[in-house]
Structure 1
Amino acid sequence: MVPPRWTAKVTVQIGQVAMANANGTPAKLTLENQLTAAERVNQPNFRLNVIKALGLPEPDTGSKKADLAFDSLRAAAERSPDLVTLQASSYSKEEALEIVDAAFKGLSTTHRKLFEQSTEVTQQELTRAQDNLSAADTEYRNATNALKSGLTANAAGARDVLVSNTVSLLRAQVSDLRQQVNAYRDALSPVQSYPTRAVAPAYVPERPSTPSRTVWVLGGVIIGLLIGAAFALLRDALKGA
């Protein structure tokens, strides 16, 4: 008789990072290809690490729970290009949930490292752009004030032209740097950059995915009745012959 099993599932959205471009539109990069992520989960080494993280013995060492967890843990790509569903079975709902949670942590931990490295670089670029913007804005305001206050009024005409050109260049530089700052901020926003996450909490049905003990008993009774009826018919047929 096969003991009842429960199958837990969780749908995972693979994280992404946004890289700021000169045109202000961030380029979105998925932390890992959907099919690659699913295949990585399905590899024996990944499933073995999940088993170890749960404190279970290695498969094929006499533990039915470990064997079932190892054999049933699977990942499948969904229609959306950034979604992967993890599923695993165990002999209780709680254990099935623990397995898929451990698998999710194993998948998301690798992605978290990539996410943090990428966002750290973008944050550094944002800080640098903000410093440059602050310096350029100060120069622009000083040059503009000097031109307006008439400090160059008694100077040669060429000097006035030079200051005016400097103001124009600084104005363009400030505008470009402001666009860079906005682009980096947009790239770091949670809408554009986010780590791998579960779409919803892991789910396991109340009823087991395999027939219950009662169903097996009823099935045995029915099979027994059918066999008895067959023997009775065969016996009657032999007597009639």
Structure 2
Amino acid sequence: MTTIPSPGLGTSGNDDPEQCAETVRQALDVGYRHVDTAQMYDNEEAVGDGIADSDLPREEVFLATKVLPANLAPEDVRETTDASLDRLGTDYVDLLYVHWPMKAYDADETLPVFDELYDEGKAENVAVSNFTPDLLDEAREILDAPVVANQVEMHPLLPQDDLLAHCRERDVTVVAYCPLMQGEAGDVDVLADIADERDTTPEAVSLAWLNQRDGVVPIPKATGVEHLRANFDPPELSEDEVARIDAIEERERLVDPDDAAWN
């Protein structure tokens, strides 16, 4: 089973080239070894520059990117993946995702190209993102390569318990995006209370809760060394604190698949 370094550095929204490259370089200096990007983020070149600017050899960085939903037709998967590799300045990625099972995605036509890229060494591992349990099982049935991860939105208001259990049973790591809840963690009373008790932030509590879930790798976003360090080493929650967060009944999804960003 492939081990995905935790936590990873999320780069969604970091589309200023200089800032993105510097953030990646700083994150690797702090100790991150997993960097997550995507065709949609429009920052693959900057991510590649940040890795190149670090003192680490390429093989020590677990680099992930995702194929845009509009690029999931078979002929586009290969062409756009090659373009991603060019922008990233590398011959391979450690993890290549289907970004979302929508638009041009057709399991029977799309996934065999991922197998080809895996066989050619352009993708060391294959993964999916935003897949339901049924769609995950369909992908696993079609692919020869193992599906090593399913990247989904996950945080205390969207714990995805059933999906997580499903992935655990299949040795599929859940990579959690929006782990800091896009700045809304402070609006959750339980997180705010625990943060006050610990003299930390609600975002740190949310990340700590995810960090202690078996089979979950969070990918928080950050800029600046102070925030990078805080996300890299979140506090350790007690069993009681974890239970208080687990008992939250409110549910909220922060990312809408119909958002214009996908178009």
Structure with more helix by fraction: 1
TM band (smaller chain): under 0.3
State the TM-score, normalizing by the size of structure 1: 0.20
State the TM-score, normalizing by the size of structure 2: 0.19
